[in-house]
Amino acid sequence: MTFLQAAIEVLRQAERPLSVAEITRTALEEGLIDTMGQTPRQTMASVIIASLHRERDGIEISPFKRVERGRYTLRTEDDPIPENVIDNVIFRQQGEFLSYKDAAYEVLKSEGRAMSYSEITQIALELGLINPQGMTPEASLSAQLYTDIQENGLSSAFRREGPGMFGLAEWESEVDTISRMAEKQRHEVKRQLKNVLLNVDPYAFEHLIGRLLGKMGYNNIIVTDRSADGGIDVVAEVRVGILQARTAIQVKRTSGNVGRPVVSQFRGDMLAMGDIDQGLVMTTAAFTKGAMEVARLPNTAPIILIDGDKLTDLLIEHRIGVRVEQVAVVSFDSDSLVIEEVGD
């Protein structure tokens, strides 16, 4: 008996959906298949998947139907198996290959778990789903999945589940989907905030930072005059325990990274003021390694560095330039549902 015929017979006897592993195990136990290969499960999966793809492509009708993730059944009485499908061998592997993305989808669907791209590739090769033309099928498969996720976002059929790990979007719960959508929206808002900050008037930017510092708990905030700031844009005080620390702030509205010379000069400007306890540099960009080294010099007043990513996070946290909307997500909790019997 062929794998195709064995799968049909097992499902006919079971009268319920089965996984590929269950179909293969039953077929082996009942002696329906006699294979000398090392991967009968993969062969069985290959037969079923190929059959479904041939139906999808309009070549012929498959005797199988996928009812849920990784589980299959036969057509119902209302949708019977055509006799010619039972009598004829419909699986012809030669020349029938899938794209890397389609192969990855079928492997993940069949396995029902997140997998590394190397494991996906190995199973796809064992099943004969792909026909690599190069020497690095793993790299090709991972590149296609990464690209699909990057270009299609939440519309992609795939999800990253960790470094080098992939799963399917259809496995997500509604809460997961909402969380991902919220995270995507947050990234978009951060991008819009940064774009506005890069184009706002420099003096208006300094006053905006003054507002932010006020929300963060600073007091006695002074935005210095344009013409005589001496490298210090804002001066403010913040309470640290029982101490009041006087802070000098410099803001850099730029798309280029802030380097060592800027932070070194700022430290000199702080010393020139004489009554500064700490410094704070805030930028719309990022800081170079040299800038971070200068900020951490020992035996000197500390300088805190806040880059564009952290700056936009602070604006969102303190509701400056954003509107926060909350949506209640309701989930069933059987443990909290206590139903007591009431006597007559």
Domain ranges of the chain: 3-87, 100-171, 173-344
Considering only residues 227 and 265, tell me which one the structure prediction assigns the higher pLDDT.
265
Residue 231 · residue 265 · CB < 8 Å: yes
Average pLDDT over every residue of 246-267:
94
Residue 160: alpha-carbon gap to chain centroid: 5
pLDDT of residue 75: 78
Distance CA(280)–CA(224), nearest Å, equals 15
- Mean pLDDT (the chain) is 82
Which range of 26-35, 54-63, 111-120, 284-293 scores highest in mean pLDDT? It is 284-293
Residue 257 per-residue DSSP state: P
Distance CA(34)–CA(41), nearest Å, equals 13
pLDDT band (50, 70, 90) for residue 249: very high
On the question of pLDDT at 186 being above 80, the answer is: yes
Distance CA(89)–CA(54), nearest Å, equals 13
pLDDT of residue 87: 40
Average pLDDT over every residue of 312-332:
82
| Partner residues linked to 162 by β-bridges | 165
On the question of pLDDT at 176 being above 90, the answer is: no
Percentage of the chain modeled with pLDDT above 70? 81
CA quadruple 26, 32, 38, 44: dihedral sign:
negative
What's the burial of 257, exposed, middle or buried (CB within 10 Å: 0-12/13-18/19+)? Answer: middle
pLDDT of residue 338: 58
On the question of pLDDT at 68 being above 60, the answer is: yes
What's the burial of 200, exposed, middle or buried (CB within 10 Å: 0-12/13-18/19+)? Answer: middle
pLDDT band (50, 70, 90) for residue 185: confident
Provide the token pair at 132.
């690599």
pLDDT of residue 182: 79
Lowest model confidence (mean pLDDT) among 16-20, 39-43, 196-200, 246-250: 39-43
On the question of pLDDT at 158 being above 50, the answer is: yes
On the question of pLDDT at 277 being above 50, the answer is: yes
Average pLDDT over every residue of 16-35:
84
pLDDT of residue 208: 94
Nearest to 49 by CA among 104, 110, 3, 1: 110
Considering only residues 105 and 339, tell me which one the structure prediction assigns the higher pLDDT.
105
pLDDT of residue 91: 34
CATH no. of 3-87: 1.10.10
Helix axes 40-56, 3-14, angle to 10 degrees: 90
Considering only residues 325 and 150, tell me which one the structure prediction assigns the higher pLDDT.
150
Average pLDDT over every residue of 298-322:
93
Which residues lie below 8 Å from residue 287, measured CB to CB, with a gap of 6+?
Answer: 257, 258, 259, 263, 281, 295, 305, 307
Which residues lie below 8 Å from residue 100, measured CB to CB, with a gap of 6+?
Answer: 124, 130, 137, 140, 141, 144, 145
pLDDT of residue 177: 67
On the question of pLDDT at 23 being above 60, the answer is: yes
Residue 163 per-residue DSSP state: T
Nearest to 237 by CA among 226, 249, 227, 225: 249
Lowest model confidence (mean pLDDT) among 101-105, 135-139, 198-202, 296-300: 135-139
Residue 239 · residue 251 · CB < 8 Å: no
Lowest model confidence (mean pLDDT) among 164-168, 199-203, 317-321, 332-336: 332-336
Residue 46 · residue 93 · CB < 8 Å: yes
Cα→Cα distances 32→82, 85, 126, 283, Å: 21, 18, 22, 70
On the question of pLDDT at 129 being above 60, the answer is: yes
Give the CATH fold of the 173-344 domain: Trna Endonuclease; Chain: A, domain 1 (3.40.1350)
On the question of pLDDT at 89 being above 70, the answer is: no
> Which position has the token pair 């960009």?
285
What's the burial of 160, exposed, middle or buried (CB within 10 Å: 0-12/13-18/19+)? Answer: middle
Average pLDDT over every residue of 159-164:
87
